[in-house]
A = this chain, B = another copy of it.
Amino acid sequence: MDLVSISDIFRNREKYLEKEISVGGWVRSVRASKNFGFLVISDGTYFETLQIVYNDSMANFSEISKLNVSACVIVKGVLTATPQAKQPFEIQATDIVIEGESTSDYPLQKKRHTLEYLRTMTHLRPRTNTFQAVFRVRSIIAYAIHKFFQERDFVYVHTPIITSSDAEGAGEMFQVTTLDLENLPKDKDGKVDYSKDFFGKKTSLTVSGQLNVETYAMAFNNVYTFGPTFRAENSNTTRHAAEFWMVEPEVAFADLTDLMNLTESMLKYIINYVLENAPKEMEFFNQFIDKGLLERLKHVASSEFARVTYTEAVEELIKHNDKFDYKVSWGCDLQTEHERYLTEEIYKRPVFVTNYPKEIKAFYMKLNDDKKTVAAMDCLVPGIGEIVGGSQREDSYEILTNRMKELGLKAEDYEFYTDLRKYGTVTHSGYGLGFERCVMYLTGISNIRDVLPFPRTVKNCEL
């Protein structure tokens, strides 16, 4: 159809002013008088709406005046500047075709609804201002991430969703099967016979693509994954979802310092890209969702991130132990309250905390010379705490396999991974960015359910 989008009208107004154009959209409000009326429509391409003036010269004047919120119309008319009004222009309609009415039971009226209420209608909430802003920004962030890595020659690798490795995160994984649960095949010991399952063995949904993508970093040097990840954690919080997206770059010939540099550039790139490409949406968040948002983000984009060791951070935190629910001592894992205190109160800017005790970090992280800490880093930002976690990887075959033995991991499950240390091993590092956490951070939205188009949480899987 030959329609002009509202985003095009706002961005290229000179091209359309005083011209007759056609616009399609959904009604946000109707104000009708006896002989004329106003429709405000949104077409979903731009955060701002467009005002339509119509009058009783139209045969369907009274039908138009009776339209309900969310009815769909195609309007023909002249785009006219309105220097005296709040909006910059409006359309003086000559013709309005009602594409689809909206029945009177439409549940979202013009008034403001709570985010909780909107969560009960997954399929309609993207039609509201808040979710228009959230999901456009989500899309822009996703693209900014691809753009950042592709401009730097990173290869995008689709790591698998279904996996037969249940090593990491065992017990918190979703099982994937084609067996008939009402009629399970059993082996001679009475156990489920997985040789009859689709893949001939027990399979689950991935909890991370990292180990897989490392195999590609050893071939392409710079790689990243960006895909869905799953955690069957039985926790009903504002920050946990069972299905979420993760970004995991992995870089050969990169040590922990290189990795921090990459993280810092990426976060600044994303923030600048979103501020530039979604200014209206960001103003909206700043005004209605989180008052300090813009200031905070601009501060992060222009700060040099602090870099401290875990040991230094713990020394600082211990001085303020009276302020914490959970007291800090060397060896403990840092909680969100500590992370936020470090970045918000002590350093007043983003902070990388490095070299954590090996006991609280994963087996594949590079052991430091002190034999007590590993070359891990967490990036903490004001307002949220940890946003990125990563490490240099253990590149020594001997140290890695010894550590696996200590932890009781089965060598044969990781042969593909230890092979990488036999055939041309190299210093390499990578991190994970929880994509929803990043969207929450950039929008100020505080519940993960409100940044996921179709949230999956405990006992909740709608549509």
Q: Does A3 contact B (CB under 8 A)?
A: yes
> Which of A154-177 touch B at CB < 8 Å?
155-165, 174-177
> Which of A122-159 touch B at CB < 8 Å?
122-124, 126-127, 131-132, 135-136, 138-139, 142-143, 146, 150, 153, 155-159
Q: Does A59 contact B (CB under 8 A)?
A: no
User: A126 and B220: CB pair below 8 A?
Assistant: yes
User: A461 and B199: CB pair below 8 A?
Assistant: yes
User: B219 and A126: CB pair below 8 A?
Assistant: yes
Which residues in B have their C-beta under 8 angstroms from that of A103?
Answer: 422-423
User: B463 and A163: CB pair below 8 A?
Assistant: yes
The complex places the Cα of A426 from the Cα of B3 at a distance, in Å, of: 13
User: A139 and B159: CB pair below 8 A?
Assistant: no
| Chain B residue at minimal CB-CB distance from A198 | B232
Q: Contact size class for A?
A: 35 or more
A43, A101, A215 interface centre (most CB from chain B within 10 Å):
A215
Q: Does A245 contact B (CB under 8 A)?
A: yes
Q: Does A45 contact B (CB under 8 A)?
A: yes
The complex places the Cα of A441 from the Cα of B415 at a distance, in Å, of: 33
Q: Out of B181, B199, B452, B454, which one reaches A459, CB within 8 Å?
A: B199
Q: Does A453 contact B (CB under 8 A)?
A: yes
User: B124 and A162: CB pair below 8 A?
Assistant: no
Q: Out of B27, B123, B252, B419, which one reaches A24, CB within 8 Å?
A: B252
Contact A461-B156, Cβ < 8 Å, known A102-B423, A132-B220, A423-B102: no
Chain B nearest Cβ from A383, distance in angstroms:
23
Contact A158-B461, Cβ < 8 Å, known A1-B253, A136-B220, A220-B44: no
Contact A254-B1, Cβ < 8 Å, known A123-B416, A127-B218, A176-B176: yes
Q: Does A18 contact B (CB under 8 A)?
A: no
User: A100 and B461: CB pair below 8 A?
Assistant: no
Contact A100-B156, Cβ < 8 Å, known A135-B216, A164-B462: no
Q: Does A427 contact B (CB under 8 A)?
A: yes
A3, A126, A424 interface centre (most CB from chain B within 10 Å):
A424
Q: Does A306 contact B (CB under 8 A)?
A: no
The complex places the Cα of A452 from the Cα of B27 at a distance, in Å, of: 44
User: B416 and A122: CB pair below 8 A?
Assistant: yes
Q: Does A369 contact B (CB under 8 A)?
A: no
User: B156 and A143: CB pair below 8 A?
Assistant: yes
User: A454 and B159: CB pair below 8 A?
Assistant: yes
Chain B nearest Cβ from A308, distance in angstroms:
23
User: B1 and A164: CB pair below 8 A?
Assistant: no
Chain B nearest Cβ from A166, distance in angstroms:
12
User: A200 and B459: CB pair below 8 A?
Assistant: yes
The complex places the Cα of A95 from the Cα of B134 at a distance, in Å, of: 53
User: A135 and B220: CB pair below 8 A?
Assistant: yes
User: B161 and A215: CB pair below 8 A?
Assistant: no
User: A199 and B45: CB pair below 8 A?
Assistant: no
Chain B nearest Cβ from A29, distance in angstroms:
13
Q: Does A334 contact B (CB under 8 A)?
A: no
Q: Does A456 contact B (CB under 8 A)?
A: yes
Which residues in B have their C-beta under 8 angstroms from that of A254?
Answer: 1
A-B contact sample (18 more), CB < 8 A, given A1-B258, A5-B221, A176-B205: A24-B426, A44-B252, A99-B425, A102-B424, A103-B423, A122-B215, A135-B219, A135-B220, A143-B150, A143-B156, A158-B245, A159-B453, A161-B161, A163-B461, A198-B458, A199-B456, A199-B460, A216-B453
Please name the 3 residue pairs, one residue from A and one from B, whose CB atoms are nearest each other, closest first.
A100-B425, A126-B219, A72-B424
